[in-house]
Amino acid sequence: MPPSERLRLEHVLEMVSALEAVILRSFGPEGGQVLFTRNTGQAMLSRSGTRILSALHLEHPLARMVVECVWKHSRATGDGSKTFILLLASLLRMISKAISRELGASHTYGFTEAAKAAAAPHLANKLLELASSDLDDLVAVNVVPYGFCLSLEDFTTHRLLLASFFHTRVSHVHCSYLSELTCEMLNRWKHKSDLPCVSLQFLSDNFPALHTPVSGFPVSSSRLIEGQVIHRDFATARLPNKQQPVKAAVFTNYMQPVLLGPGDVLKVGYGDGVTEQNTMVHFSAWTERSLESVIAKLQSLGVSLLLSAVKQSDAALALATQAHMSLVECVSEEELSLFMQLSGVTPVSRGCTIQAKHVAALSFCRPILLGAHRYVHVAFCEAAETCELNPCSLVICGPGEEQTDQYICAIRDAVCMLMTTWEPKHTSEAAASHGTVQSNKSPASSDMTTQSTANEPYVLKKCVLEPGCVIPAGGTFEFLLSKALLNSSLPSVSQLLANALLSVPRQIYSHSPKLFLQAQTRIMSLVQNPSNSVRLKESTSESTVDLGLESVACKCQLILAVVQCATSVLRVDTVLHAHTALHTRSKKHTNSSQDSTEDEEED
């Protein structure tokens, strides 16, 4: 039997606390960057929680399981990786303290370990039930009224939201520039007739083809350029470097047609006077005539630019050069897909089927030098643009490859965060059992108004989490939700989550405990007097603290993901250290019964 390891709550907390110690170095507005050195000597400098956790060499499977949960949440929402670890560690500590108090009060000393092992998953399951059923209601009633909804046309608030996001990802010096650049990109890719989530989804899906990394330049050199950058160079003679219309065709296969033309006969085989040499001559002649017919057809359609997903033959290159056509080979699938979406053309799979619908109209096509690489730069005619877009490509610069990659990941995650923020939310029933709650918001969020009086019984009201809902940063969300959990009639397990939430603002203001008390007092005064508005900039006796904005939807998903992760890790009872390779589904099996048997063994 392989060696086994019995997991206790203390062991789980110890492993998560070790991850927390690494994350805290870069957490919050005052956090710094973490420097990693690989075995090759290459250095990595980053403030991204996901990149920091992914760079760790974790041996214990439970630690890798936690990092996997963080990675999945970050990929889904684009935000919250460091707060995820901080909340998870704090929640596990609260569970451990609650179990210790309960066992101490019951004097069950002889069964302490067994009782702890059973109590921890039980509390985690209750927390998961609470977060799944009541979290949205609590947020809608007690948090949303103190925020507001972003306006589609007001990019000032978008900049505040993005600046707060970049403030925890990159150097403080570059936050403002990156937020301005991202807002400009969003404005140019905005679908005027669709919801914001449609444009953001398009950017998220096509981001690999929409950006170009350039190392060796300052961040301030990052910019937007018109059209699309195809990350390949010309394989044949380039087109004149002028602003002139160009027609292009996209090939997904070789240019030779797979069918013979009328009257063509291809002899293959031996016997009856047919020799191998004659066969090769016939084949070569047919291939050349086929290519010539394809090139002639392209010329008749006015095509002067060919984009190919594969490497073409030397004969095709020679004929394209003779016809003064520019050919770009081995274009990636993502870039060809984006090109076809923006131009509205369909690709050519066989040369004999070329028609006018396969030809795209471009305003220009020219080489472009970005850093040390030369690419192909194309722009689309206004008549060919779809969805009233103004297509552009993002050039992201950085001093080194690691820094450039860090900025790329930050902008990509910012788009994902905005997409989560603008995603339409469902309607839920919320309980309002305390005080008169009035929202102080823009007209766009008037549907979220919820009122009740302290003398009313437990009342169910409809509350809608509007898309684009944000709230001032600096712990506002955690203070409000913690207060709501403590004052609610929910099970006592809600106090564990309420106390764990306060660990976030405590860490934000760890450099100055006085600011933590001031922020808590300000939020509590708002709860007592809802007619006050939450200001984005709060003056203190020492300085003016720019709070910025946070996404309410991302915060809700973060809490649910943390509770789900805590439930998963606390359900693990024993770890078996296997020294043999595990069976995988990639192996071929002889029958379906063997598949099901091996699947059961893996589970």
Residues 549 and 167: beta-carbon distance below 8 Å? no
H or E element that contains 395: strand 392-398
Which residue, 73, 140, 171, is CA-closest to 464?
140
Query: What is the DSSP pairing of strand 228-230 with strand 459-464?
Result: unpaired
Give CA–CA dist 544/533, Å, rounded: 17
- pLDDT band at 511, cuts 50/70/90? confident
| Contact between residue 505 and residue 516 where contact means Cβ atoms under 8 Å apart | yes
* Lowest mean pLDDT across 76-85, 255-264, 335-344: 255-264
Min mean pLDDT across 183-187, 325-329, 426-430, 468-472 is at 426-430
Domain 232-377 has what CATH class?
alpha beta
pLDDT above 70 (res 536): no
pLDDT at 543 over 60: no
Highest mean pLDDT among 59-63, 106-110, 561-565: 561-565
Which residues does 498 contact at the CB level (< 8 Å), separation at least 6?
A: 481, 482, 483, 485, 486
78: region left, alpha or beta (phi > 0 left; psi from -120 to 50 alpha): left
Mean residue pLDDT of the chain comes to 80
Amino acid at the residue 173: V
Give me the torsion for CA of 122, 126, 127, 130, rounded to 10°.
170
Contacts of 535 (CB under 8 A, 6+ apart): 472
Least confident segment among 34-48, 52-66, 203-217, 289-303: 34-48
Query: Predicted confidence band at 239 (pLDDT cuts at 50, 70, 90)?
Result: low
Q: Which CATH superfamily is domain 4-148+426-464+468-575 in?
A: GroEL-like equatorial domain (1.10.560.10)
Sign of CA dihedral 190, 194, 195, 197: negative
Q: Each residue of 264-273: pLDDT tens digit?
A: 454 544 445 4
A 10 A CB-CB count for 95 gives 26
Question: Domain-by-domain residue ranges, the chain?
Answer: 4-148+426-464+468-575, 232-377
User: Residue 286 in contact with residue 345, Cβ under 8 Å?
Assistant: no
Residue 512 CA: distances (Å) to CA of 21, 26, 48, 396, 542 = 19, 16, 23, 35, 11
Indicate yes or no: pTM above 0.75. yes
Share of the chain above pLDDT 90, in %: 44
How far is the C-alpha of 63 from the C-alpha of 54, rounded, in Å?
11
Q: List pLDDT tens digits, range 441-497.
A: 333 333 333 333 333 333 334 445 788 999 999 899 999 999 999 988 888 899 999
Q: Would you call 205 exposed, middle or buried from its count of C-beta atoms within 10 A (0-12, 13-18, 19+)?
A: middle
Name residue, tokens 């306060």: 502
Q: How far is CA 496 from CA 237, 450, 466, 480, 486, in A?
A: 69, 26, 28, 15, 9
